[in-house]
Structure 1
Amino acid sequence: MFTISKRRRVATAAGAIGALALLAGCSEGVVQGEDGGGEDVAAEETLTLVTAAMDGTPNAAVQDWFLTEVEERSEGRIEFERTEAYSLCDAPEIADCVRDGRAEIGVSIPDYTPVYFPSTSVVSVPFVGQNWQGITHSLHELHRNNADAEAVMTDNNLHFVGTWPVGRMLIGTHEPLESPEDLDGLSTRVSGPLAINLFEGEGTNVVSLAANEVYEGLERGVVDSAAASIDFPVNYRLNELLPYWTDPGVGEYSSFGMWMNLDTYEEMSEDLQQVIDEVAADLAAGAGAEAFYAQATEQCPSMLEAETLEGFTRWDEDITAAWEEETGDSLQSAWVDLATEQGLENAESVLDEYMAGLEELSDPEAQDATLTCIEEFSNQ
């Protein structure tokens, strides 16, 4: 297995810093002293990031909060080499890049390589997840305290850092959608295994495309619609091609994951491991939700000001409730079967623990920027 060499020397005297940096090949950070002066310190760990989170999206904001917080709390002993989205590894390759050591930390969509992440695909069970913070917190606790969920990560040489939802599902189309019956016959890009099942049950021709491929797919007629978060009409510019967007009430449907190479994590000193894990816990407990929401609110003006936008609506709650009742518990059972096939032991108990976490750990006061933006559109 290819591994990245570690650089573990710390300069303890200002006059020796330059020589140590040259000898160890380390990059240098600055630690502030009590008098406000700076002391240069060579990073013990320089970790390369590979990511599918595009700049300007809420998912990138969560990622960047974590990276910056780790650098600050470690006082420069951990430093991240940030790379642009899709630059070193394409989105479907990122998990493998981290697993085999080409990069030390990665951020991408677990659904692109689902066999590695059966425990996190539970996010895609429709109608279950409506609270971003609760989902993130429950998944974090699950992968810290459930041996079966943790095992699927460690067996793939990954250390779980965090998993968070991508944002509420919207459906972008050329004509308005009023109910699930309108999905029949559409060719739609959908992500998330159980969300795909839901759409296929309504007669939709589902096409799997990575986020950065959807615009071209619409231009070329590979698909005629897209089910995705608000990132897609705003940051991926699908507003230019699809004038109608609606929230069908499915809620969160897919996720971003952040993982470290397990060998890299285990070779760190215990105090640096503690920094990584404490920041990850704070992300899950609410800091990530704050970063996500702050960036998500900045997407709304771009959405509403798009000259091509003709509709931005939400289905009536009775329509969504009838759709949910129609599916019953079938999609949860389908997730248990799928996760079991992908190697997750005791998948039913993992689902029960996740659902209990949603009830216990969700913040009832948490705001949803997408719903707020839909309300703004309706009040124009």
Structure 2
Amino acid sequence: MKFVLTGALAGLAFGFAALPAQAQTVLRFNNFLPPQHGQVVDVFEPWARNVEEATEGRVKVEFLPSTVAAPPRMFDAVESGAVDVAWGVPAYTPGRFTLTKALDLPFLGDNAEALSVAYWTVHQEMFEAAKEFDGVKVLAVYTTGPGTIYTTGEPPHALDGFAGKKYRAGGKTPQEIAEALGGAGVTGPSSEAYEMLARKVADGAFWTHEAYESYKLGDVVQGQFSVPGGLYNAAVYIIMNQQKWDSLSQEDQDAIWSVSGESLARLGGRAWDKADASAIERMEADGVKRFTAEGALLDEIRQRLLPIEEAWIAEAEAKGIDGRAALDRIRALSGAK
């Protein structure tokens, strides 16, 4: 009997030893970008691996096979707990965010990594106090590369080239820029832009360089118009459901945070720079007619777009934020001219 009991205890002990020290937590990550997109390949997937490694396997990130909500509903999907983590674009949700629109303004810089770190810094120093992200845990905010205008025909070489033209714009600020240049903005998320161009619903589209490859624009785009420092950049976020975050142990929160925040913002911006460089090379090879404004034309564009910046500064001040100081800080940190 003694032998049998000892054997049973040994078997029970072996069974416990075979179990993991702690049950694994799975974070469901929602993404609406195409699988080949640089943000998926060079940001989301590496971050997921970093999380699993930092938590020693206790937390794993699982990518959902398809998006559970339209791009404008990413914040709601995370806040409600429909998903645990998501990447999103604040500009797709007009009226919810004010301070994120700072990064939609013109002439903030051509380097997404530098601008992303600048944005994350100013978010922590100034914007966070306004509580625009209340209800979720912000894992990172960062930016896209500089925004340009793709055209289905020749790119404009003068302001009168914008007259009467319609441009797909993913948010309010690009729409305002289109109007200030003499054209009109047509609302539409990135997932619909290709069809808008192919069906001639729009004569062009506000988009970053990388979109040329990510969204396979070669057969619908003939030209690209840009300005030094970008016509706009777009703020983006990676957020987590607050209850899910709170349910994690302090050890796992610390581990996830060690690979998030500034390091994740830097990773996101760097990936955009890499994708932009690749897309520009492809455009050059495909013979896309690329035009960059300079001289008197650039000066006129700056004057036309200045009221958009002044309007945002007033909006920020209404929220108790010194908008001019915030933009000065962002430009100083990003190296924008």
| Matched residue, 1:165 | 143
Residue correspondence of structure 1 range 1-380 to structure 2 within 5 A: 15-16=15-16, 44-60=24-40, 61-84=42-65, 87-146=67-126, 149=129, 151-154=131-134, 157-173=135-151, 174-249=153-228, 251=230, 252-283=232-263, 286-306=266-286, 309-328=287-306, 330-338=307-315, 345-347=319-321, 349-350=322-323, 352-359=325-332, 361-362=333-334
User: Quick one: structure 1 residues 145 and 47, their matched pair in 2 at CA, closer, same or farther if it must change by over 3 Å?
Assistant: same
Q: Deviations over 1:263-287 (max 9, x none)?
A: 2112222222222322223425744
Task: Note the residue ranges of structure 2 that are not aligned, 5 or more in a row.
Answer: 1-12
Greater relative contact order: 1 or 2 (C-alpha under 8 angstroms, separation 6 or more)? 2
Tell me how far 1:302 sits from its aligned partner: 3.6
One-letter amino acid matched to 1:325: Q
Q: Does the 8 Å CA contact 2:103/2:235 hold for their aligned counterparts?
A: yes
- Higher Rg: 2
TM-score, length basis structure 1:
0.75
Tell me how far 1:314 sits from its aligned partner: 2.0
One-letter amino acid matched to 1:136: S
Aligned residues: CA RMSD: 2.8
CA distance in 1, matches of 2:146, 2:14: 50
- SS across alignment from 2:221: coil
- SS across alignment from 1:64: helix
Q: Deviations over 1:66-113 (max 9, x none)?
A: 2222221111121111124x5322212222110100001000211111
- SS across alignment from 1:52: coil
Q: Does the 8 Å CA contact 1:120/1:139 hold for their aligned counterparts?
A: no
CA distance in 1, matches of 2:52, 2:327: 31
TM superposition outliers: structure 1 runs of 4+ over 6 Å = none
Tell me how far 1:132 sits from its aligned partner: 1.7
CA distance in 2, matches of 1:200, 1:275: 46
CA distance in 1, matches of 2:52, 2:252: 10
How many residue pairs were aligned? 321
CA distance in 2, matches of 1:132, 1:331: 21
Among all aligned residue pairs of Structure 1 and Structure 2, give the percentage whose two residues are the same amino acid. Answer: 21
Task: Note the residue ranges of structure 1 that are not aligned, 5 or more in a row.
Answer: 1-12, 21-39, 365-380
